[in-house]
Structure 1
Amino acid sequence: MVILYMCRGCKRIIHAWARPREGELSPPTPSEVIKRFKGRCPYCGRQLQRPRLEDVTIRYPHNDFPAEKGRVVVKVL
């Protein structure tokens, strides 16, 4: 599973998570990503906010419903 965190303003991916790094147990929360970038998009400078429920989408490659590993979760900040 891949989790993409995107800026709501410029629609660019500001952080991608595919698997845990050493010492990491789970993907970062939106609040952690926002804190990492000091609350601003590194591309357009827009203030980042926690996503609303409608800002979180789950996409499957080629409109199929493959196994869990093919899933992409997009969170718009």
Structure 2
Amino acid sequence: MPVKYRCKNCGYELYKFEKVGQDFYGVRTPSEIKSIYGGRCPKCGHPLGIPNVGEIKISLKKKIYPMTK
């Protein structure tokens, strides 16, 4: 399951981690993402913050089963 960081104002995808081995560092923390962009969304300019527990959304992928005969 990918880990995505989005701007809570405009929904711009700031970072997406899809699989192990994607890069040397692994999944980045919200504070690392904030520092990469200088504390502001590059699309809308909204200040980036650290999400609280209520703002974190977890969604599961729909599992696709192969057709059986």
- After superposition, the Cα gap between the structure-2 partners of 1:38 and 1:61, relative to the gap in structure 1 and judged at 3 Å, is same
Which has the larger share of strand?
1
Instruction: String of CA shifts for 1:12-51, please: whole Å, max 9, x gaps.
Output: 2111111344432x30000000000000001100000000
- Work out the CA distance in 1 between the residues paired with 2:6 and 2:59: 14
Q: Which residue number corresponds to residue 59 of structure 2?
A: 59
Q: Give structure 2 stretches of 5+ with no counterpart.
A: 64-69
Q: Which consecutive residues of structure 1, in runs of 5 or more, have no partner in the other structure?
A: 65-77
Higher relative helix content? 1
2:14 aligned with 1:14 = yes
Query: 2-side partners of 1:5 and 1:50: how far apart?
Result: 11
Q: How many pairs are equivalent?
A: 62
TM-score of the two chains, using structure 2 as the length reference: 0.78
Structure 1 counterpart of 2:24: 23
The higher relative CO (CA closer than 8 Å, separation ≥ 6) is in 1
Give the TM-score taking structure 1 as reference length.
Answer: 0.71
State the AA in 2 paired with 1:23. F
